[in-house]
Amino acid sequence: MEQPKTRYSKQRETIYDILMQDYTHPTVDTIYIEARKVIPDISLGTVYRNLNHLYENKRIQRIDIGDNAVHYDAHIDPHYHIVCQKCGRILDVDLDPSDVALIQKAASNQSHARIQNTGIIFYGTCEECLQSES
């Protein structure tokens, strides 16, 4: 069954545009601050509702890195993330699909489960933090 068409929403497209231009994987609070620069009377509830709508319609992804906040990413092409344990920055990393397939196969063989999707988050120290250490 075909999904009904979603009506255009200035608020939703503003939020989506903010995410498309922001590679920092912002939280709802950061998105709200940026959205208010464009639409001063937008409410936090409207930002939440539109983020949920964008997520449910597979236009954005949610990222949980274990910091008690949800981060958002409008770049939904297959990619993975590195979280710096010093500064908290979330960086995108592209992995060769054959490398990911090896990980999926190993996980499937060990668990006897069928893997349908893979989300990988690496934790370590980013290049900028490493440079500031030296």
Would the pTM of this model clear 0.75, i.e. be above it? yes
Domain co-membership, 108 together with 60: no
Domain co-membership, 83 together with 67: no
Domain co-membership, 66 together with 122: no
Full residue range of the structural domain in which residue 44 is found: 1-76
Q: How confident is residue 8, by pLDDT bands cut at 50, 70 and 90?
A: confident
Total number of domains constituting the chain: 2
Task: Determine the Cα–Cα distance for residues 25 and 17; give it in Å rounded to an integer.
Answer: 13
| Cα torsion 127, 103, 96, 81: sign | negative
For residue 76, the one-letter residue type is: I
Domain co-membership, 97 together with 53: no
Q: How confident is residue 111, by pLDDT bands cut at 50, 70 and 90?
A: very high
Domain co-membership, 18 together with 39: yes
For residue 107, the model assigns a pLDDT of 95
Residue 75 CB neighbour total at 10 angstroms: 14
Domain co-membership, 19 together with 52: yes
Share of the chain above pLDDT 90, in %: 88
What is the bridge-based pairing of β-strands 61-64 and 70-73?
Answer: antiparallel
pLDDT (tens digit per residue) in 29-78:
999 999 999 999 999 999 999 999 999 999 999 999 989 999 999 999 98
Domain co-membership, 3 together with 60: yes
Cβ atoms of 103 and 120 closer than 8 Å:
yes
Domain co-membership, 68 together with 122: no
Report the chain's C-alpha Rg in angstroms.
18
Domain co-membership, 66 together with 5: yes
Domain co-membership, 104 together with 62: no
Task: Determine the Cα–Cα distance for residues 99 and 79; give it in Å rounded to an integer.
Answer: 12
